[in-house]
Chain A
Amino acid sequence: MAEIAPDQGRARGASLRARLRPTFIAPDRLRAGLRSVGWTIASLGLFALIWEFCWLMGWSDPKLLPPPHIFLGDIPNQIQFFNTATRWAVGVSQAEAPSGLQSLVTTVLSTMARVIAGLVIASVLAVSVGVLARYFRLFDRLTMPTIMLLSSVSPIAWLPVAVFLFGIGNGPAVFMVVIALFFHMVLATVTHIDNVPVNLIHVARTMGATKRQVYLRVIIPAILPAMLMVLRLNLFGAWMVVLVAETTGVGHGLGQIIMLARNTFNPSLVFFTIALIGALGFLTDYALRILQRRLLYWLPEKGTRHAL
């Protein structure tokens, strides 16, 4: 044992250093990050510039397509509309109602909570069903045809069902997110299980692993990278469907703001909300990307293996 101790110590030191690395921002990493931010600003700026130019030349009607400086210019006024819960409630004086900023935060957090709850429930259910389908032949034969059939139904068709089952409020909104993601995620899970390199399974079997051990220690870690990618793609789907679901009436919610803007003919508010949703979608995707990097420590950094 004594002869290998220094070797072992060195190896452990190296791995410790590797583990510490992400907490410090290396100069090259910082530069790459800044460059990426720069391009994001350039891309958004170009788009805004074209829009502003069209407004300046009088090609676009500011009443229908108000350019960014109009819909982002008067934020205190815009966020007054975010109090969809008590603004028109009978017997609540406007003085006691939450301020614009409070309403904005409540609205954003309510919608975000529905997205995250729906995403978590859908992925847990879908991965469980997908794994069970591959584990038990009978379960596969009994469930897969139905799942296949229902996966082509647009989530919009489920909206009445959501209301029948859960009335109005958070229930139907979360249900809509779950139903929109569930079927696709089951199919994705099954596909990724089928694509696990067969040698990884053979190795475990020759070492005497039971079917259960093969699933827990080989198949699930092997599909994790692909499943997190599926989760990221479905995050956008969740954002899309949550707005539709929120139009059924949920108190606070970005879907309510869009409905309000439509009913009161307020294009400025529509674009403000769209900008807000875009930013939120971007931020949640960024958060998932960080989670992905932390959880999948064994994968190379994005882009390092790209051919071009």
Chain B
Amino acid sequence: MPSDYRFSSRDAVVCRGVGKTWAPDTPRAHLALTGIDLDIRPGEFVVLLGPSGCGKSTLLYLIAGLEDATEGVINFFGDPVEGPSSDRSLIFQESSLYPWLTVWENVAFGLSIRGASREERRAAALEALREVGLVSAMDKRPDELSGGMRQRVAVARALAMRPKVLLMDEPFAALDVQTRQKMQDFLQDVWRESGASVLFVTHHIDEAVALSDRVVVFTSRPGRIKTIVENPLPRPRDPFSPEAEALRRQLTALLRDEVDRAFAEQEGMGD
């Protein structure tokens, strides 16, 4: 397990003045995100919380290197981000498994891109599947699995690349409440085991309270960082403790203004 950088003083991800304009130089140009300053420490669990359409997913795509920032710079362990890399794995809301591959072939997909041998791939897939508790499903096809299992396979696929940062774009949003609870516990175990930093996008306050070391609250349109809230709750967490309740109340208040503002804007557009 690559845990040597866990207590390193170097930051995993550093964003300075990061912004993104979609379709620049066209009449449809639209500023999604602006002025983001954010440092993420190695092994830290950071939740990005904000109303829908506030650009928090955009920030994830910029850090993943799938899109280029139109303002500012992003550094990853000291090097500027200039494109996608297997050190930064992205996990999506919807199942993104390849339906024509079996579970283990999906998990080993990244290794096959690198040209690893079948034995190597199988061994790596087995290890990653063991970490998510799905060894028994390795020869199944994705459509034979439940939504929660599919997301666990997606996590295994990301882990098989031994990433230093896991970027998660509302990964549990399509799951029912009970499964989501299970998946949150599962994710915390995986995160502790892997030593990777996690950047987790959600609009669920409960999820932020349960998972985060820090919560980054976004404003809406364009996305800016409104404030960063430390989550002091000890792990394992009791969601019903008075401290959790207080944090939930604080985050709810912070979000309410933004949601109200977004609603007002939408009503204004309707006229």
Contacts and interface: CB of A to CB of B under 8 A. Distances in A.
Contacts of A207: 84, 86, 89, 109-110, 113, 161
Interface string A37-77: 00000000000000000000000000000000000000000
Interface in B123-177: 126, 130, 135-141, 143, 157, 161
B113 A204 contact: yes
B40 to A, nearest CB: 17
B84 A199 contact: no
A299 B100 CA distance: 8
Contacts of A197: 94, 96
A4 B126 contact: yes
Contacts of A218: 98
A271 to B, nearest CB: 45
Query: Which of A199, A204, A224 has the most C-beta atoms of chain B within 10 angstroms of its own C-beta?
Result: A199
B85 interface: yes
A7 B136 contact: yes
A206 B96 contact: no
Interface string B88-124: 1110101010111010000001101110000000000
Contact of A221 (B65, B98, B114, B135): B98
Contacts of A15: 102, 139-140
B135 A208 contact: no
B138 A11 contact: yes
A11 B113 contact: no
A199 B113 contact: no
A221 B99 CA distance: 9
A211 to B, nearest CB: 12
B143 A208 contact: no
A300 B13 CA distance: 42
A202 interface: yes
A14 B139 contact: yes
Contact of B135 (A8, A199, A203, A300): A8
A187 to B, nearest CB: 24
A11 B136 contact: yes
Contact of A205 (B84, B100, B137, B143): B84
B88 A8 contact: no
Q: Is the interface of A mostly helix, strand, loop or mixed?
A: helix
B86 A208 contact: yes
A247 to B, nearest CB: 43
A300 to B, nearest CB: 7
Contacts, number: 78
Nearest to A4: B135
B114 A11 contact: no
Contacts of A217: 109, 112-113
Contact of A208 (B90, B113, B136, B138): B113
Interface residues of A, number: 28
A22 to B, nearest CB: 15
A106 to B, nearest CB: 41
B219 to A, nearest CB: 26
A209 interface: yes
Contacts of B113: 204, 207-209, 213, 217
Contacts of A299: 99
Contact of B139 (A4, A11, A203): A11
Query: Which of A10, A202, A299 has the most C-beta atoms of chain B within 10 angstroms of its own C-beta?
Result: A202
A220 to B, nearest CB: 10
B138 A8 contact: yes
A298 interface: yes
Contact of B114 (A10, A208, A224, A298): A208
B12 interface: no
Given A10-B136, A14-B139, A4 B99 contact: no
A148 interface: no
Contacts of A202: 64, 66, 90, 92, 96
B66 A221 contact: no
A209 B98 CA distance: 14
A12 interface: yes
Interface string B240-259: 00000000000000000000
A200 interface: yes
Contacts of B161: 207
Interface in A164-213: 197, 199-200, 202-209, 213
Query: Which of B66, B100, B136, B140 has the most C-beta atoms of chain A within 10 angstroms of its own C-beta?
Result: B100
Contacts of B85: 206, 208
Nearest to A11: B139
5 contacts: A4-B135, A199-B96, A200-B98, A207-B113, A300-B143
Given A15-B102, A208-B114, 11 more contacts: A4-B126, A199-B96, A200-B96, A204-B109, A206-B64, A206-B85, A206-B89, A208-B113, A217-B109, A217-B113, A298-B141
